[in-house]
C-alpha cells in the first residue's frame, strides 16, 4: 500500500488519510509530491491519481484520491479501529463534519493555513470575516460536543481529527478559543497516530 502526501506534510487531508491507515494498524509506504513545483501535474502522477490531488492511496491495482473517500474505503475494507461511528445518525454527522470543514470557513482556512500548525509560520491578526467564521466554528463545535471535551460521538472517530485540525489553526497562534474547545483539540492532538504526523521532519518554509 502506498500513500501520496504533500512534500511539506501540512495537508489536513493527507493527515486524515495517514491517521486512518495507522489506526487500522496497516503497513504502508509514503511518497511525497511537491505541490509548489506542480509535481501533481506530471504525467506519471496523473496516471495514478485521476484528480491529480493528494492524498492519493494506492492499494494493489486500485488508486483513490479525496481524503473522505479514502477514509471510508479504509474503514469498509480493513478490520481494526472503527473510523466512523456505528450508529447511522452519528456516522452521517461525522461525514457532515468532514464535509463542512472542507467546504466552509474559508476565511479561517485562508488566514490560518495549516503551515501555522505544522511549520510554525506566523500570520497577522484575524480579519473581521475570519472572526465571524471562528464564531460560527465555535458555536457548531460546542453544540456537537454538548459539554464533552473528549470525542464528538463518545468513541473516537476520524471526524475528530478534522474538527481538531480546524481548531488548531486558531489555537497555535493564540487566537481566542473557548477553553472547552482548546481542551478537546489538545486531547485529540495527543493521540499517538496524530503524533506520528505532527513530529515528521519537514522542509523549511519559504515565503511564509
Of the chain, the percentage scoring pLDDT greater than 70 comes to 98
Q: Containing H/E element for 3?
A: strand 2-6
The second-level CATH assignment, the architecture, of 2-81 is: 3-Layer(aba) Sandwich (3.40)
What is the pTM for the complete model shown?
0.93
The confidence score (pLDDT) of residue 206 equals 62
pLDDT at 34: 82
Q: What angle, 0 to 180 degrees and rounded to 10, lies between the N-to-C axes of helices 88-103 and 128-145?
A: 170
Q: How many residues does the chain have?
A: 208
DSSP class of 63: E
Mean pLDDT for 145-166 is 96
What integer is the mean pLDDT of 36-61? 85
Q: What is the mean pLDDT of residues 104-125?
A: 91
Q: Where are the alpha helices (H) located in the chain, listed in sequence order?
A: 12-23, 43-48, 67-77, 88-103, 106-111, 115-118, 128-145, 158-171, 179-189, 192-198
Per-residue pLDDT averaged across 164-174, rounded?
96
Nearest to 149 by CA among 174, 186, 176, 175: 186
Q: pLDDT of 87-101, one tens digit each? A: 999 999 999 999 999
Please compute the mean of the pLDDT values over residues 112-138 and round it to a whole number: 93
Kindly tell me if the per-residue pLDDT of 121 is higher than 80: no
If one compares 70 and 49, the residue with the highest pLDDT of the two is 70
- Residue 39: pLDDT over 70: no
Per CATH, the architecture of 88-193 is what? Up-down Bundle (1.20)
207 pLDDT band, cuts 50/70/90, is low
Query: Region 170-179: what's the mean pLDDT?
Result: 96
In the chain, list all ranges with CATH 1.20.1050.10.
Answer: 88-193
Please, where in the chain does CATH 3.40.30.10 lie? 2-81
Ordered DSSP codes for 172-185: TTT----HHHHHHH
Is it the case that residue 110 has pLDDT exceeding 90? yes
Structure confidence at residue 170 (pLDDT): 97
Amino acid at each position: 500500500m502506498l500513500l501520496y502526501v504533500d512534500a511539506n506534510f501540512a495537508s489536513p487531508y493527507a493527515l486524515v488519510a495517514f491517521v486512518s491507515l495507522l489506526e487500522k494498524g496497516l503497513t504502508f509506504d509514503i511518497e511525497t509530491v511537491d505541490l509548489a513545483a506542480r509535481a501533481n501535474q506530471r504525467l506519471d502522477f496523473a496516471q495514478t491519481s485521476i484528480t491529480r490531488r493528494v492524498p492519493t492511496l494506492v492499494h494493489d491495482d486500485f488508486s483513490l484520491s479525496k481524503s473522505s473517500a479514502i477514509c471510508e474505503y479504509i474503514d469498509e475494507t480493513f478490520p481494526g479501529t472503527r473510523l466512523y461511528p456505528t450508529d447511522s445518525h452519528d456516522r452521517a454527522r461525522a461525514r457532515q463534519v468532514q464535509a463542512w470543514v472542507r467546504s466552509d470557513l474559508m476565511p479561517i482556512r485562508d488566514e490560518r493555513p495549516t503551515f501555522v500548525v505544522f511549520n510554525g509560520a506566523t500570520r497577522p491578526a484575524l480579519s473581521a470575516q475570519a472572526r465571524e467564521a471562528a464564531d460560527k466554528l465555535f458555536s457548531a463545535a460546542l453544540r456537537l460536543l454538548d459539554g464533552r471535551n473528549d470525542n464528538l460521538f463518545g468513541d473516537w472517530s476520524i471526524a475528530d481529527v478534522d474538527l481538531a485540525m480546524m481548531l488548531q489553526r486558531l489555537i497555535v497562534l493564540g487566537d481566542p478559543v473557548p477553553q472547552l474547545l482548546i481542551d478537546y483539540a489538545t486531547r485529540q492532538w495527543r493521540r499517538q497516530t496524530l503524533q506520528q504526523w505532527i513530529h515528521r521532519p519537514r522542509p523549511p518554509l519559504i515565503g511564509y
